[in-house]
Amino acid sequence: MLYPIDTISRQVKELNSIWRFKLDNGEGMKNKWYEKELTNTIKMPVPASYNDIYEDEEIRDHIGLVWYEREFIVPESWKNMRTVIRIGSATHNAKVWINGKKVLEHIGGYTPFEADITNELLWTEKNRITIAVDNILDFTTIPIGEVQTRSNKYKKLKYYFDFFNYSGIHRPVKLYCTPNQYIKDITIKTDIQQKLGYVEYSIEKHGGYNLEVDIIDENNQIIARGSGEKDIITINNPILWEPGRGYLYTLKIRLLNKDNKMIDVYDEKFGIRTVKVKDNQFLINGKPFYFKGFGKHEDGYVNGRGYNEVMNVKDFSLMKWIGANSFRTSHYPYSEEIMRLADEEGIVVIDESPAVGLNFNLSTTEDDYINLDTIERLTFPNTWNVVKCQGNHIKVMKELISRDKNHPCVVMWSVANEPASEEEGAYEYFKPIVDLIRQLDNTRPITIVEHNGSIPVNSRVADLVDVVSLNRYYGWYISSANLDYAEDLLRRELLWWWDLHKKPVIMTEYGTDTIIGLTSTTASMWTEEYQEKFLNIYHKVFDEMNFFVGEQVWNFADFATAQEVGRVEGNKKGIFTRQRKPKRAAYLLKERWHNITDYYYK
C-alpha cells in the first residue's frame, strides 16, 4: 500500500484540524446520524485520542461508538482525477461516510485504510465526511477484549494488555488524488553480493502502458535505470543502509501512455541492505548486529496515542543521546510517519502486530476471579479454545506487510506479544500465520515474543520462529526483591534456550517500575537504585552469552495504562518519564550503550 505523497501527477490534502465530535450511547446507527449534520457536538482535534482532551470521565472512559465530522472542499483541478480518502488509523474499528453515503469500513486500530470516493464528491458545494469509531474489542478482534457487565448495568471494557485503550482517529486523515490510470503498488527487495547491490522491484499498475524506473541517490543523481513492471537492477558499490546511517535511494517510477507521455509519477524511498539470521547471529549487511534499545509506546500527555510528530523527533533524539540503535513497535504497528523517520535516521525496528494479550492466564485482575452476581469463581480457559481472532490476525499481518515491506528500518516481524504459547493449540494457531508471512516476505526473519511462563521446554511456537524474543521479569514480578536469585534464574533460562533451540536470543523486555526521585541507599523496589541494580545484573548475564544478540529495555518512557493496583498513574518502567526526563538508569545505559558497537559486539 503506497503512502500518499505529492508528486507532479498527484496531490495530497490533509484533513487534520478540529472536527465536530459526539459520544454515542446507542442512538447513532439507529437514527442514522451520518445522514445529516451532527447536532450538539463538541470540538475534537484530529489526529488525537479523544480520551484526555476534556475534563470528563465520561469521555475518557467511553465504551463504544463516537462520531467525528467535518466539511471539506475539493479543488476544481481534481475534477478529472481519482480522489481517495485515507485514514492513517482509527482505533479500533471505523465506518466512513461521504455526504451520507458509506464508503469504507475497517476493523483494526493501527493500520491505514482508504477508499476511492471520486463518484461521491460534490463539486459545487462543500462535502461532508463522517467517521464513526468504535473502541470495543471482542474475541474476534486483534487485540482481543470483551465488554463485561456486572449486575446487568455496570460495564467495563476488559482488555488483556497493559496500556490505556486510547481511542479515536489517531493518525492523519488525508485526501489525495491520482490520475485515473495510476501506479498502484511497489515492492522492493534488495541484496548485496561483494561490491554489488541488487534492487529487485515489482510494480502494480492500473491502466497505462510502459513504466520507466530510475534509481536516484541522495545527491539527486540518476545512478541506474530499470524498465517494465519487474526488474533487477545492479548497482556498483552502493552506499548501504546501516544502523546509524540511513542512506536512502529513491525509486522514481513513471507510468506512460501508449504515446510515451507521462501519466503518473511516484517516488519510493528504499535502502540497500540485507538481513539474515545465521547460527547464533543476527546479521545486517552480513555483519553480526547487536540490538540496543527499547520497547516503546505511542503515548503522551493530552495527545494520548494520537500522532505526535514533535514527540517522535524528540524520542529519536533521546535514543541517539543514550546510544540506542533500535526499538520494537510494542504492541501495535506505529504510524507510517515514524517508520519513514526511522528509515532516514538509521534506526532499526522490530515491527510488531497488534496481537497483544492473547493470553487469558496472564492478564487477570482481582475482579476476574470472582463474580458476586453468580457467586461463581472464574477460571481461565485455554486461550486458543476461546479466541476467534485468527482471521483478523491474518488480515492485520497482510496489512502490516503491505504497508511496511519497503522500509529498510524494519528488520524483523513480530507476530505477537506474549501469547499463551505454552498452551495447547498455540502451534496450530500460529503455524498458518507464520507460513503466510514467509510467503509474503522472504527477506525478513520472524519472531514471537515469549512471556515469562513460556520456557524452552513448553513453548509450542519456538520452532516456528527465527529468533527467540523474551520478556523477562526475574527480580520484579518473579523473585521480587531478590536480585541474586533473579540473576541465577535468568542465566539458567537463557542457556537452556540455546541448548534446546539453537537460535539467537533477544531480550525484548526487562525492567522495573521506578518512580523518578524515589531513592534509597539500599536498593529497594520502585527506587531508582533498584532499576539500576536490576539492569546491571541482566547486562552481566547478557554479556556472558555469545548467542545473545540484543537488549531492549522495557520501556523507553513511562506510559498510561488502565487504572489498576500496581499502576501508579500508569506503568513506570520507563527509562525516561512520560515528560521525557531521564531517570538515573538512563545514564547507566548511556555509558553502556555508547561502548557497545552496532556490529561485532558478539
List contacts with ligand BDP (CB under 6 A).
162, 331, 417-418, 451, 471, 509, 554, 571, 573
Query: Closest Cα partner for 183 from 353, 311, 326, 10?
Result: 10
**394, burial (CB in 10 Å: exposed 0-12, middle 13-18, buried 19+):** middle
Rounded least distance, CB 486 to ligand BDP, Å: 15
Whole-angstrom distance, CA of residue 515 vs CA of residue 558: 9
Q: What burial letters (b/e) apply to 482-517, b meaning 16+ CB within 10 Å?
A: ebeebbebbbebbbebbeebebbbbbbbbbbbbebe
Measured from the CB atom, is 422 or 509 closer to ligand BDP? 509
Quote the cell numbers at residue 563: 487504572
Q: Which is nearer to ligand BDP, 343 or 418 (by Cβ)?
A: 418
Closest CA to 12 of 54, 91, 89, 75: 75
The candidate with the shortest Cα–Cα distance to 14, out of 93, 129, 119, is 129
CB of 515 to ligand BDP, least distance (A): 14
Instruction: Give me the catalytic one of 509, 528, 532, 551.
Output: 509
| Closer by beta carbon to ligand BDP, 135 or else 514 | 514
CB of 331: closest distance to ligand BDP in angstroms?
6
Say if CB 74 and CB 126 are below 8 A apart: no
User: Using CB atoms, what's the residue nearest to ligand BDP?
Assistant: 162
* Phi/psi of residue 483, nearest 5 degrees: -75, -25
Instruction: For the beta carbon of residue 579, count every other beta carbon within 10 angstroms.
Output: 11
Annotated active-site residue in 418, 487, 532, 551 = 418
Among residues 69 and 450, whose Cβ is nearest to ligand BDP?
450
Nearest to 590 by CA among 324, 289, 345: 324
Nearest CB to ligand BDP, comparing residues 444 and 573: 573
Rounded to 5 degrees, φ, ψ at 446 are -125, 145
In the chain the first and final C-alpha atoms are separated, in Å, by 37
Omega before 333 within 30 of 0, i.e. cis: no
In 3-state terms the chain splits into helix, strand, coil percentages (rounded to 5) of 20, 35, 45
Q: What is the smallest separation between the CB atom of 471 and ligand BDP, expressed in angstroms?
A: 5
Beta carbon of residue 60, minimum distance to ligand BDP (angstroms, whole number):
20
- The answer to whether 184 touches 204, Cβ cutoff 8 Å, is yes
- In the residue annotation, 146 being an active-site residue is answered as no
In the complex, least distance from residue 166 CB atom to ligand BDP, rounded to whole angstroms: 14
Q: Find the shortest distance in angstroms from Cβ 359 to ligand BDP.
A: 9
Closest CA to 23 of 53, 241, 444: 53
Interatomic CA distance for residues 115 and 86, integer angstroms: 7
215-224 long-range contacts (CB < 8 A, ≥24 apart) are 215/249, 215/250, 215/251, 215/252, 216/249, 216/250, 216/252, 217/249, 218/247, 218/248, 218/249, 223/249, 224/199
CB of 192 to ligand BDP, least distance (A): 34
Q: Is the CB of 17 or the CB of 482 nearer to ligand BDP?
A: 482
Least distance from ligand BDP to the Cβ atom of residue 507, Å: 12
Catalytic residue check, 564:
no
| Dihedral angle sign, alpha carbons of residues 574, 579, 581, 584 | negative
Q: Is there a contact between 135 and 58 (Cβ–Cβ < 8 Å)?
A: no
Query: What does the alpha-carbon distance between residue 595 and residue 176 come to, in Å, rounded to a whole number?
Result: 46
Residues linked to residue 97 through DSSP beta bridges, in sequence order: 102, 130
Annotated active-site positions, please?
418, 509
